[in-house]
Amino acid sequence: MIEIKGAAKTFRTGARVTAALEPIDLAIADGEFVSFIGPSGCGKSTLLNMIAGIIAPSSGAIVHDGRTVAGANTATGYMTQQDSLLPWRTAAANIALPLALRRTPPAAIDARVAQMLALVGLANFGGHFPAELSGGMKKRVALAQILAYDPPTLLMDEPFGALDAQLKLIMQGELMRIWENAGKTIVFVTHDLAEAITLSDRVAVFSSRPGRIKAVETIDLPRPRDPLRIQFEPAYRAVHQRLWDLLAPEIEASRAEAFA
C-alpha cells in the first residue's frame, strides 16, 4: 500500500521558487487503480516522481509497504512522461535491459521480450531502434519494458497520450486485462477524463498550481469495462458530469493564470 502523508514540494532553483504541490494526503491500496487528473503544471508528475523516489518531498513523506521512500523505490515500475528509451538500443534490447540488470538468464530474457513485444502489438519491431518507431510505438515499447520485469506497482504518466484515439482505447483494454490478471497497483496520470473514468477505481482531481487534491471520486461502474462502449452507458455519463464539474474550474483557473 502507498501512503502519501502530507507530502509537499517546493522547487528552489537559484532565486526562483516554485510551489508545485501543497501537502497531499492519499492512501492507495494494494491492487487499486488510481488516476490523477488536473491542469498542466499542477504537480501530477512531481507526485509520481516522489512515489518513485526520484525526488524527495520538501515536507511530509511517502510510505510504501510500511517503508518511507528514500532514494529509488524499486517496488515500482515507472513509465515517465518523457521518452526514456535508450536511442542506441533496439526496442528488444531496451525491453531486455531491466531484466538483465536483475540478472535474469539470457534465454528467459529472450522469451520474455518476445512475449512482451507481442503483448503490445510490436512482434515485428523488436529489431527497430527508437528513431525508427512512431511516437505511439515508442510508448508501447516503454510499456512493454516496465511490464517485462513485473514490478508490483506501476506508475504511468500519460502513457497513452501519444496514441491515436482508437489505439488508445485498445491499449486501455489491454492494460485493464493485465491489471485484473496480475493484481498490480497502478497510479496513472492522464489529461483524458474519459480514460481516467474507464480505467480507475478512484480518480483524484487536482487543483491548479500549487496542486492539492480537490476531490477523490470512486468510480463504481461495473467491471470488466469495455473502453469502446462504456461512454454510451447512462451511469458513465453521470460520473463524467460529476468529475467534469470538479475539473473544469481548475482548468479555467490555470488558463486564467497562464494567459493573464
Interacting residue with Mg ion among 45, 80, 90, 185 (CB under 5 A)? 45
The answer to whether 208 contacts Mg ion (rule: CB under 5 A) is no
Residue 62 C-beta: closest distance to ligand ATP, Å: 15
Cis omega before residue 210 (within 30°)? yes
Coil, helix or strand at residue 139: helix
**Residue 45 or 254 having the CB closest to Mg ion:** 45
111 alpha carbon, distance to own chain's centre: 26
Full DSSP string of 64-126: ETTEE--S--TTEEEE-SS----TTS-HHHHHHHHHHHTT--HHHHHHHHHHHHHHTT-TT-T
Interacting residue with ligand ATP among 1, 5, 18, 253 (CB under 6 A)? 18
Q: Are 185 and 155 in contact (CB under 8 A)?
A: no
Considering CB under 6 A, how many residues would be counted as binding ligand ATP? 13
Residue 81 C-beta: closest distance to ligand ATP, Å: 6
The answer to whether 159 contacts ligand ATP (rule: CB under 6 A) is no
Rounded to whole angstroms, the Cα distance separating 208 from 190 reads: 15
The answer to whether 139 contacts ligand ATP (rule: CB under 6 A) is no
Residue 41 C-beta: closest distance to ligand ATP, Å: 4
74 binds, among Mg ion, ligand ATP, none (CB under 5 to 8 A by kind): none
Q: How crowded is the C-beta side of 93, counted as CA atoms within 13 Å? A: 9
H/E stretch holding 244: helix 234-258
41 binds, among ligand ATP, Mg ion, none (CB under 5 to 8 A by kind): ligand ATP
201 alpha carbon, distance to own chain's centre: 14
Residue 143 C-beta: closest distance to Mg ion, Å: 17
**Residue 58 or 115 having the CB closest to ligand ATP:** 58
The answer to whether 80 contacts ligand ATP (rule: CB under 6 A) is no
List of residues contacting ligand ATP (CB under 6 A): 11, 13, 18, 20, 40-46, 81, 209
List of residues contacting Mg ion (CB under 5 A): 45, 81
